Amino acid sequence: SQKIEQNSEALNIQEGKTATLTCNYTNYSPAYLQWYRQDPGRGPVFLLLIRENEKEKRKERLKVTFDTTLKQSLFHITASQPADSATYLCALPARKLIFGQGTELSVKP
């Protein structure tokens, strides 16, 4: 069955550094992949979508890569800020919309 895996361990980084989060998938060949942000007690909010023919996509301080050979997406936040602290989820959309378990990011001042 389709499986999505994200780093289950929380990621703690210093303000100003680059955070890199990983999303791996198996038994699936998605045409595209999405990344969401979730704050405590709230529903996820869409951040970025990357298509299989796009190797990289940027939005302000966010950068996403998509390697269909490795079956992996990397999510980068450059010049991180404490306000970036949240849980970040990747999702594989098809008829179903399946999420990874999310990686909690904590940015310390």
Which residue, 1 or 14, is less far from another protein as judged by CB? Answer: 1
Which residue, 31 or 79, is less far from another protein as judged by CB? Answer: 31
DSSP letters for 10-75: -EEEETTSPEEEEEEEES---SEEEEEEE-TTS--EEEEEEETT-SEEEETTEEEEEETTTTEEEE
Which residues contribute to the site for another protein (CB under 8 A)?
Answer: 6, 31-32, 34, 36, 41-46, 49, 89, 91, 93-102
Which residue, 15 or 39, is less far from another protein as judged by CB? Answer: 39
25 touches 71 (CB < 8 A): yes
State in angstroms the smallest separation of the CB of 48 from another protein: 9
